């Protein structure tokens, strides 16, 4: 019961980042000293959270499994529901491209689905594109990126990358650079590749717990990694979401002109006001026309 109370504390503290993954909750529990860092405790927590949801102690909406996906067709119950949804989304659907006037074209690339909610918060705020490079990214995704920057020849391309601190996470970042620059021939494009998380410095700064899976002995990339960094591996899930958000957002802001950004935000606000006025006039016209038809009929 005490451990469940601690879980509820963490869920309350990270309210704005829900739903969380089991792994995120586990590392927060370890980081706060609530449980030891080992496989048996991870399995215990998994079982605890299963029954906490079945027994309605924790909402099913608080935790999600991002390794599995469900797709369903978009449908409308009726024409009226479609029209209402269109009206409701008319204003919220308008979004200016904040990067249009910027010198840099920025994309956020990340290794794990577990941090999707954090990355999308930042992407939404600054209108950035994101790439979930789960596992080793496919050549198709990397080709798609080169197509995007080919359509922006006057922009400086920037990839900000976030991954685990382990042999695969670091090697993946190097592999992406090698494929795009050397193998696909984009070396002369001057693409900025920057790994913003997770670093050894950040691990020490935030006192992050080691990965429960640690470094796999059969991993061919392990010897080079251990020689340079030691026998330590840390998952990015261990970083508190608010800390990860601050780290990535600070990196984004290094490549954005704040004055040009403010101009775009103000331009968007003005356009939205004009749309509101248009809709107001449109509804007044629609209501008066309907009334006139009734009176005339």
Which pLDDT does position 271 carry in this prediction?
A: 84
Under-50 pLDDT residues of the chain = 295
Query: What pLDDT, on the 0 to 100 scale, is given for residue 88?
Result: 60
Q: What is the pLDDT of residue 27?
A: 93
| pLDDT at position 237 | 92
CA 41, 46, 52, 54: dihedral to nearest 10 degrees? -150
Percent of the chain with pLDDT over 90: 60
Q: How many CB atoms lie within 10 A of CB 163?
A: 23
Identify which of 137, 140, 202, 203 has the alpha carbon closest to the alpha carbon of residue 175: 137
Per-residue pLDDT at 230 = 87
Convert the pLDDT of each residue in 118-147 to its tens digit. 999 999 999 999 998 876 657 888 899 999
Q: Specify the pLDDT at position 83.
A: 60
From first CA to last CA, the distance across the chain in angstroms is 70
The span from the CA of 65 to the CA of 169, in Å, is 21
**Cβ–Cβ < 8 Å for 4, 57:** yes
Sequence-separated (6 or more) residues with CB below 8 Å from residue 3: 29, 34, 35, 44, 45, 48
- Which among 79, 26, 33 is positioned nearest to 49, based on CA atoms? 26
Position 64 scores a pLDDT of 87
What is the model's pTM?
Answer: 0.81
From the list 230, 229, 247, 219, the residue with the least C-alpha distance to 162 is: 247
Would you state the structure tokens that stand for residue 145, as one six-digit string?
């990126």
CA-nearest of 228, 209, 261, 180 to 24 is 209
Assigned token pair, 193: 């590749």
Residue 140 is predicted with a pLDDT of: 84
């Amino acid at each position: 019961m005490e451990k469940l109370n601690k879980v509820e504390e963490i869920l309350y503290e990270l309210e704005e980042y829900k739903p969380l993954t089991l792994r995120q909750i586990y590392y927060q529990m370890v980081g706060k000293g609530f449980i030891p860092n080992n496989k048996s405790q991870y399995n215990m927590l998994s079982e605890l959270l299963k029954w906490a949801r079945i027994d309605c102690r924790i909402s099913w909406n608080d935790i999600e499994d991002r390794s599995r996906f469900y797709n369903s067709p978009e449908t409308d119950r009726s024409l009226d529901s479609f029209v209402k949804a269109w009206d409701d989304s008319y204003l919220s659907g308008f979004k200016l491209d904040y990067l249009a006037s910027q010198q840099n074209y920025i994309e956020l690339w990340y290794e794990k689905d577990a941090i999707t909610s954090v990355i999308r918060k930042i992407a939404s705020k600054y209108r950035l594109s994101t790439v979930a490079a789960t596992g080793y990214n496919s050549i198709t995704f990397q080709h798609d990126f080169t197509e995007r920057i080919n359509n922006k020849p006057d922009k400086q391309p920037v990839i900000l990358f976030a991954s685990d601190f382990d042999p695969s996470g670091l090697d993946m970042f190097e592999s992406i650079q090698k494929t795009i620059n050397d193998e696909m021939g984009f070396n002369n494009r001057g693409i900025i590749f920057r790994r913003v998380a997770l670093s050894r410095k950040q691990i020490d700064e935030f006192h992050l717990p080691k990965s429960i899976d640690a470094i796999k002995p059969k991993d061919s990339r392990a010897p080079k990694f251990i020689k340079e960094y030691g026998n330590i591996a840390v998952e990015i899930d261990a970083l508190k979401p608010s800390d990860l958000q601050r780290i990535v957002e600070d990196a984004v802001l290094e490549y954005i002109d704040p004055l040009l950004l403010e101009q775009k935000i103000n331009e968007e606000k003005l356009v939205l006001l004009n749309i509101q006025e248009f809709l107001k006039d449109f509804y007044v016209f629609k209501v008066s026309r309907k009334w006139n038809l009734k009176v005339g009929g």
